[in-house]
Amino acid sequence: MKYLFTLLAVGILFTGCKDEGKNNQSENQINKNPYGEEKNVLEADSASIDIQPISHATAAVNWSDVTFYIDPVGGAEAFKGIEKPDFILITDIHGDHMSIETLEALSLKGTHIIVPQAVKDEMPEEMNDKVRVLENGATTRVLEFYIEAIPMYNLPEDPESHHPKGRGNGYVVERNGQRLYIAGDTENIPEMKELENIEIALIPMNLPYTMTVEDAADGVLAFAPKKVIPYHFRGQDGFAEVEKFKNLVNEGNKDIEVEILEWYPEREEE
């Protein structure tokens, strides 16, 4: 009988420890993030991600208490009334993505500027203390955000193309499980189609610089973000048919929200 009581006591102790371990794990899960380090995940972030279009490829993003700019061009006046950026993402060296004059005109004290090496090479030395170079496939952390550089390039791969592989960056910005994909100037590349768990995606579609609306829709259907926003859709022959893009996406997956924002005031006047 004494032996039986001992077994029961050990069993209760073991069960209690096991249940306590389960509770601790559910309350404070430890996950490996894509950047090779451990981070605590309490629950998915429910903060809204507000995309404020400025023009073409330029936007301000308000994510809870943080503001960051994507490819700021247009001078300081383009950002009048918008919060000072906590960080800036620049995708490529072309004038519709990188403007040294705009950066110099903005108030950037304490602002981190994330760029590919090709952009860094074009920047003045006095900005070196603000600039952080991120190459394709590399990651960094700014404040509570994890930023991964995603390749962006034209197909077929050609060093003489508008956007050769390795020069520019798309970005995945993540905080607490929410992930925003900024595609940059890219075509329907494998690296885009392999993305997972994207909350919002900014996708370009203009010829001859990026891709057709059909290719853009095909890529989006492959990685199925919760929401997709067409941007960078003015090409040599005018504006891409973003309504057609929306129809193609929703015909393929009705659960993907397609939001069309006002990137071009002149388009609204047509």
Q: What is the mean pLDDT of the chain?
A: 84
Residues 6+ apart with CB under 8 A from 224: 198, 253, 255, 256
In whole angstroms, give the CA distance from residue 267 to residue 270.
Answer: 5
Rounded CA separation 14/16 (Å): 5
pLDDT at 268: 58
Mean pLDDT of 66-71: 97
Closest CA to 165 of 179, 175, 150: 150
Which domains occur in the chain, in start order? 49-258 (3.60.15.10)
What region, left, alpha or beta, does residue 51 occupy, with left being phi > 0 and alpha being psi -120 to 50 degrees?
beta
For 49, left (φ over 0), alpha (ψ -120 to 50), or beta? beta
pLDDT attached to residue 29: 29
CB 152 within 8 A of CB 186: yes
Measured CA to CA, the distance from residue 171 to residue 182 in angstroms comes to 5
> Which of 112, 210, 217 has its CA nearest to residue 201?
217
pLDDT digits over 217-261, tens only? 999 999 999 999 999 998 887 899 999 999 999 999 999 999 999
Position 87 pLDDT exceeds 90: yes
Residues 19-43: tens digit of each pLDDT: 333 333 332 222 334 444 444 443 4
Query: Coil, strand or helix: which one is 135?
Result: coil
pTM: 0.81
User: What stretches of 29-130 adopt beta strand conformation (E)?
Assistant: 29-32, 38-41, 49-55, 58-63, 66-70, 87-89, 112-115
**Across 40-68, average pLDDT:** 83
Distance CA 53, CA 47 (A): 19
**Percent of all residues in the chain with a pLDDT value above 90, rounded to a whole number:** 69
Angle at the Cα of 131 (from 130 to 132), degrees rounded to 5?
A: 125
- Cβ neighbours for 14, distance < 8 A, ≥ 6 positions apart: none
